[in-house]
Amino acid sequence: MSDTTQNGPMLAADGTPLKRSLNRALRRQKLRALMLIAPLLIFVLVTFIAPIADMLFRSVENQIVSDTLPTATEVLEDWDHTTGAPPGEEVYQALYYDLYLAAEARAHTRLGTRLNYEYTGVSSLFRSTGRGLEDLGEEYQDILEDADDRWGEGAFWYELMTGTGDTDARLVREHRARLQALENARLTGDVGFAPSVEIKELLPQTTFAYTDFAVFTALMDEDVVAEEDPWEGVYAGLAQDLETADLSGYDGPGAEALVAAQQTLAEQAEPINYTAFFESEDKDWVSPDIWATIQTYSSTYTGGYFLNAVDMQLTPDGIEMRPDGQRLYMVLFQRTLFMSLTITLSCILLGYPVAWLLANLPASKANLLMILVLLPFWTSLLVRTSAWKVMLQQQGVINDVLVWLGLVDDAARLVMINNQFGTIVAMTHILLPFMILPLYSVMQGIPPSYLRAAKSLGATNWTAFWRVYFPQSVPGIGAGSILVFILAIGYYITPEIVGGRTGTFISNRIAYHISTSLNWGLAAALGAILLAVVLLLYWAYDRIVGIDNVKLG
Amino acid sequence: MKLTQSLLAGTALALVAGTASAQDMTFVSWGGAYQMSQQKAYVEPYVEANPGVSITWDESSAEAVARLRAMNEAGNITWDLVDVVAADAIRLCDEGLAMEYDPEDMLAPADDGTSAEDDFGDMIVSDCFIPQIAYSTTFGYRTDMVPEGVDAPSDICSIFDLETYPGRRSLERRPINNMEWALYCDGVAKDEIYDVLATPEGQDQALAKLDTIKDDVIWWTAGADTPQLLADGEIFMGSTYNGRLFSVIVEQDQPVAMMWDMQVFDLDGWIIPTGLSDEKLEAVKDFVYFATDTQRLADQAAYISYGPARQSSAPLVGEHAELGIDMAPHMPTNPENAENTLLYNYEFWADYRDDIDAKFQAWLAQ
């Protein structure tokens, strides 16, 4: 059209290349669309996806062991459980100081609860030992303070540990990280203490224990380190260090007090023995089984919960099946699947004729029927379930009628509740509308003329229904079945009330582990498996029937 | 214009309410008759003496441990005082979710000057647990279903005796208490029950004993189940909390009687969640001091048949507030009822609960 020939790219009105200008406009539009749905997206992410992901993550998370006993689990790595002997003194030594800090932070009992899921008795072992830890240090503290009052003064200790030369800030950082892991929180603030390098080399265990004390005092109690008297555990560290320390080259603060203390302890105190201390606290501490359990579960992530969820267990010798009498979850998974399928089938059988009636009756009658279908929706779930209890129990309405009619002997009333039958009946009733509604909306879309055409071409009633009508209603069955099945598989309240011994679902166990046993890891593993099973069935359904064949209306 | 005004007024109200928040406390309890007894005996007199304090109830004690743990992880504790059973208090203490307290410092001494620590005695089963009442899990039976010519059941082992006492029973769907009763009726001496139950053989023995009545048991999960089953004549006898049976027998006048033999004592009380603000903590402490004194604990027994946890409260227990009957004979701690009892073994079950529960549930599912 124009007589000017254009070389180069086509330009927009403002002179920028058209391609870029279009891209920019498109991008702006996309961004605007994204911003429009952003509130919903963020809402779903924050309130739905993130909590579920967090919960499922617990099924493998196992930091608590290495967070609570960081040094002990590290030293324990070299120990071989197959020897049948308890680990060496160095493990008990590490355990003492790990547990000491954990007990101050009141985190040792949490670990006890965690390990008690794997080894019965650890809970009280940690609880009682946590109370006794101070006794070991107190012995030495008394001897030292009797000899020299200064050992009981916070300011003297602070001067001794800070020294005069270079200080080691890295150690403080490490111990702060240790405490943060224990408390599960970020701890900011100044510790106001760093051990001198000289003292750290001379008295390593004392420095270790004192730094724990200093970090905890400054960050958790929010006190000034120099004004507080150290924990009893610090004295245990000092006693251990002084057994071997060579003080001849040391002339920093408190040098003469240290020499005197070495003398006093050598004369008056027994050499420190951590193994003997733990054995006197509880014999179980020298049992190799406990240590094997700690070693097995010391990794940051564990498959232990998932193994438990399928009736296996992680033992020091590898993966094993649980003993015969203790297998529970596979039975429950199978039962849950079987019963959900049964419920779905009975919903199809009962719902199909109702939906057909709804779709084919005149509007006035269909509306009345529709209200009857929806009525259960407006009644509390608990009321509906409890009503079934009244109906089905042995002294209930149905049994009374049967006895009155003479069909059942008074002494042999039917057992219809607190078993699988009761759960199936009650849940079929509760979930029926979820089958009827999709079926109804699909059936409404099937023109009645098809059936009439089939019949006029010579089909019997049955052939017309089976060959013409039914195939067109399959998408409704598919949609209803998926709805009912997925709702049923995770159902909790009804099986809990009417399930009795044989009618409970896996969800009842999940609820138990969430709210009663507090074993959230196992609950998460069970939940993850359940989710996987549902997704797998959904995939299979898609392959066999095709998800395009599902219609809600 | 009107809308703006009312909006402003609403904001102003909210601000006023916000400033008074230290006096608003949320207590957690079990709902029903029990919570009502706390409301009448503690909260109403306290609010009367301290106008401006308002107390909201949350009926979540049944899932308090899980909820508190979730709140703690979210960093937002919205409860100020929580009523839990002792076993849960121990667990909350272990998890660091309940505050340790000093009984001398926080609880009132008895009227005669006995310190709170001595007055509560062994009832303080955890450093975080502020005891309130002692209740028991025990049996009730239908008096009209006792076979003719047979004495009414008075021995715990009659639950395993299907020949003399036919009919169904109801037991709680958990191993605690059931395992002890089973071993006791299988001939294990009372003081050896827990030694035996600690071994796998002992656990099998208890399950084998329960196996003899497995088909005749309805397993309950809610405390209200057994009273309903008894009232409907669904079962001959069943276990539940003694206060629930009191209500069936005395308040609803059903043909039911108590069988106190081998009742298992348990405790219920308060815990204070960790992480309350200083202001809140002061308000809660003030309430706890008031609500756990000798008279207040005795007052609660006028509304529900649970025994006060203080020794000094026992003589003050009087009549039922509405029915006017003497409450003493209905208390689990009444000497006539407490001839043969068991005390919930907290330490044992804290260790063995997970293990034995897994076995018990596997046995149930078979």
Residue B168, φ and ψ in degrees, nearest 5: -85, 160
Does residue B68 share a domain with residue B130? yes
Q: Tell me: pLDDT of B9 over 60.
A: no
At B77-112, the pLDDT tens digits run: 999 999 999 999 999 998 889 999 999 999 999 989
Cα four-point dihedral sign A512, A518, A520, A525: negative
Same structural domain, B189 and B256: yes
E strands in A219-301: none
- What is the pLDDT at residue A542? 86
Across A421-430, average pLDDT: 95
| Claim to verify: residue A122 and residue A222 sit in the same structural domain | yes
User: Of A335, A501, A515, which has the smallest distance from its Cβ to B66's Cβ?
Assistant: A515
The whole-number average pLDDT for the span A166-179 is 93
| Residue B2 reports pLDDT greater than 50 | no
Q: CA B286, B292, B293, B295 torsion: positive or negative?
A: positive
Closest CA to A433 of A486, A381, A480: A480
Residue A319 lies in a domain: no
Residues A205, A344 within the same domain: no
- Per CB distance under 8 Å, which residues of B are interface residues toward A? 62-63, 65-66, 69, 91, 93-96, 204, 214, 217-219, 221, 232-234, 347, 350-355, 357-359, 361-366
State the maximum Cα–Cα separation within chain A, in Å, rounded to a whole number: 117
Which domain does B239 fall in, by range?
137-264+338-365
Q: Which of A127, A106, A105, A102 is nearest to A116 (CA)?
A: A127
Do the bridges between strand B217-220 and strand B169-172 make them parallel or antiparallel, or are there none, so unpaired?
Answer: parallel
The reply to whether A270 and A418 lie within a common domain is no
Which residues touch B110 (CB under 8 Å, ≥6 apart)? Answer: B116, B119, B294, B310, B311, B312
Count: domains in chain A? 3
Q: Are residues A253 and A397 in the same domain?
A: no
pLDDT at position A553 is 59
A500:B218 CB<8 A: yes
A553 min Cα distance to partner chain B (Å): 40
Residue A59 pLDDT class (50, 70, 90 cuts): very high
For the stretch B113-154, pLDDT in tens is: 999 999 999 999 999 999 999 999 999 999 999 999 999 999
Q: d(Cα A496, Cα A418) in Å, to the nearest integer? A: 9
- Whether residue B19 is predicted with pLDDT greater than 90 in this model: the reply is no
Per-residue model confidence as pLDDT tens digits over A81-125: 999 899 999 999 999 999 999 999 989 999 999 999 999 999 999
Provide the number of CB pairs (under 8 Å) joining chain A to chain B. Answer: 85
Q: Same domain, yes or no, for B130 and B82?
A: yes
Whether residues B48 and B152 fall in one domain: no
> Confidence class of residue B73 from pLDDT cuts 50, 70 and 90?
confident
ipTM of the assembly? 0.89
Among chain A residues, the shortest Cα distance to B361 is held by A328
* A491-540 tens-digit pLDDT: 999 999 999 999 999 999 999 999 888 999 999 999 999 999 999 988 98
pLDDT score at A14: 80
Same domain, B232 and B356: yes
Tens of pLDDT, residue by residue over B54-70, are 999 999 999 999 999 99
**Closest-CA residue of chain A to B199:** A120
Position B197 confidence tier, pLDDT thresholds 50, 70, 90:
very high
Statement: residue A249 has pLDDT above 90: no
- Average pLDDT over chain A, rounded to an integer: 92
Same-domain check for residues B144 and B277: no
Q: What is the pLDDT of residue B199?
A: 95
Q: Which domain does A359 fall in, by range?
A: 329-549
pLDDT over 80 (residue A191):
yes
Task: Choose from B94, B221, B366 for mutation: most chain A CBs within 10 A.
Answer: B94
Cα–Cα dist A449/A445, whole Å: 11
| pLDDT more than 70, % of chain B | 94
With a pLDDT cut of 70, the percent of chain A lying above it is 98
For A104, the closest chain B residue by CA position comes to: B96
Q: Residue A437: which CATH number?
A: 1.10.3720.10
CA distance to partner chain B, nearest, from residue A112 (Å): 8
Considering the domain architecture, whether residues B97 and B30 belong to the same structural domain is answered as yes
Does B183 share its domain with B198? yes
Flag if B94 and A327 touch (Cβ within 8 Å).
no
Q: Which of B63, B93, B350 sits opposite A124 (nearest CB)?
A: B350
Whether residue B314 sits in one domain with residue B238: no
With respect to residue A251, please indicate whether it lies within any of the assigned structural domains. yes
What residues contact B358, with CB distance under 8 A and at least 6 apart?
A326, A328
Nearest-angstrom CA–CA distance, B102 and B108: 11
Total count of domains within chain B: 2
Token representation of residue B218: 């309805």
Q: What angle do CA A169, A170, A175 make, to 5 degrees?
A: 100
CA distance B247 to chain A (A): 21
Verify that A458 and A492 share a domain, yes or no: yes
Say if the Cβ atoms of A325 and B363 lie within 8 Å. Answer: yes
Pick from B354, B356, B359, B360 the residue to mutate for testing the A interface (most A CBs within 10 Å). Answer: B354
pLDDT score, position A185: 85
Sign of CA dihedral B188, B191, B194, B195: negative
What's the whole-number mean pLDDT along residues A432-438? Answer: 93
How many of the other CB atoms lie within 10 Å of CB of B346?
Answer: 20
| Whether residues A137 and A52 fall in one domain | no
Higher pLDDT, A377 or B39: B39
Domain boundary, last residue among A296, A315, A348: A296
How far apart, in whole angstroms, are the C-alpha atoms of residue A247 and residue A250? 5
pLDDT tops 50 at residue A232: yes
> CA–CA separation, B56 vs B26, rounded Å?
5
Cβ-based interface (< 8 Å): residues of A facing B: 106-107, 109-110, 112-113, 116-117, 120-124, 127, 325-328, 331-332, 335, 393-396, 418, 496, 500-502, 504, 509, 514-519
Residue A113 lies in a domain: yes
The answer as to whether A423 is a domain residue is: yes
Q: Are residues B324 and B360 in the same domain?
A: no
Q: How far apart are the first and last CA of chain A?
A: 53
Q: Quickly state the pLDDT bin for A552 (edges 50, 70, 90).
A: low
Would you place residue B33 in the very low, low, confident or very high pLDDT band (cuts 50, 70, 90)? confident
Cα of B352 to nearest chain A Cα, Å: 6
Q: Is residue A318 part of a domain?
A: no
Question: Which CATH number does the domain housing residue B290 bear?
Answer: 3.40.190.10
Q: What is the DSSP string of B162-173?
A: TTTS-S-EEEES
B126 shares its domain with B67 = yes
CB contact under 8 A, B365 and A395: no
A296 phi and psi angles, rounded to 5 deg: -65, -35
pLDDT above 70 (res A470)? yes
Among A34, A57, A80, the domain-final residue is: A57
Residues in B closer than 8 angstroms to A517, CB to CB, are 353-354, 357
The candidate with the shortest Cα–Cα distance to B74, out of A48, A104, A51, is A51
Integer Cα distance of A191 and A541 in angstroms? 61
Residues A37 and A83 in one domain: no
In a domain, residue A305? The reply is no
Q: What is the pLDDT of residue A404?
A: 95
A84 and A33, same structural domain? Answer: no
Give the distance from residue A239's alpha carbon to the nearest chain B alpha carbon, in angstroms: 31
Q: What is the pLDDT of residue A98?
A: 96
What is the helix (H) or strand (E) element at residue B269, kind and residue range? strand B256-271
Based on the fold, state whether residues A273 and A413 are members of the same structural domain. no
User: Dihedral of the CA atoms A298, A303, A308, A312 (nearest 10)?
Assistant: -100
Closest CA to B145 of B119, B164, B160, B128: B164
Is residue B21's pLDDT more than 80?
A: no
Residue A467 has pLDDT above 80, yes or no: yes
Say yes or no: A358 and A495 in one domain: yes
Please check the confidence at residue A485 and state whether its pLDDT lies above 60.
Answer: yes
Query: Domain check: are A144 and A284 in the same one?
Result: yes
Same domain, residue pair A462 and A495: yes
Q: Quick one: CA torsion of A290, A296, A297, A299, rounded to 10 degrees?
A: 140
